[in-house]
Structure 1
């Protein structure tokens, strides 16, 4: 299993996120092609309510301790409560309606 998938699975299971992005940024660094060593995580979870930023990061690091010890060289964390996330970015936009493969009349 890829490290990115492990990170996504563990964070999803532990934090029940409203929004989760795990981006492999290894290609931006001096590592071999296909590496999984540098990640950015955007995590929006109700579990962060009332928690200081340092405690949010500690909680994520605790969940990913195995990966941090053995695979991940760098981890950029962006952790938010749902109200912080919506205040900064608003609602996550809906996907456009699917036309079901039908051709639109000209």
Structure 2
């Protein structure tokens, strides 16, 4: 899935976090958080970005993914977000 996302979005960074163990009602499908940094998103609003991710992962959504949290950024958006929210804290580093 990682390579599929990287290739499709020509992504600079793709991170996939498996949060399945954090949920009480665990089933065999996964709870995932996906972070994608790509300039493909420059002229897209958040809805279109998320639709593109869901379309790309439609097979996985029917077979292996139960819940998906999507975070999409252009490279410039990521730099601003990173500096503001992550770099100066002890938060999880991407």
TM-score w.r.t. the length of structure 1 is: 0.72
* 2:90 corresponding residue in structure 1: none
Q: Which consecutive residues of structure 1, in runs of 5 or more, have no partner in the other structure?
A: 1-6, 94-106
Aligned residues: 83
Higher helix share: 2
Q: What RMSD, in angstroms, separates the aligned Cα atoms of the two structures?
A: 1.6
8 Å CA contact 1:20, 1:44 repeated in 2: yes
- Structure 1 segments (4+ residues) deviating >6 Å: none
Post-superposition offset of 1:36: 5.2
Q: Which consecutive residues of structure 2, in runs of 5 or more, have no partner in the other structure?
A: 88-94
Q: Bigger radius of gyration, 1 or 2?
A: 1
TM-score w.r.t. the length of structure 2 is: 0.81
Q: Deviations over 1:29-77 (max 9, x none)?
A: 1226xx5510000100110011000000000011100000111000000
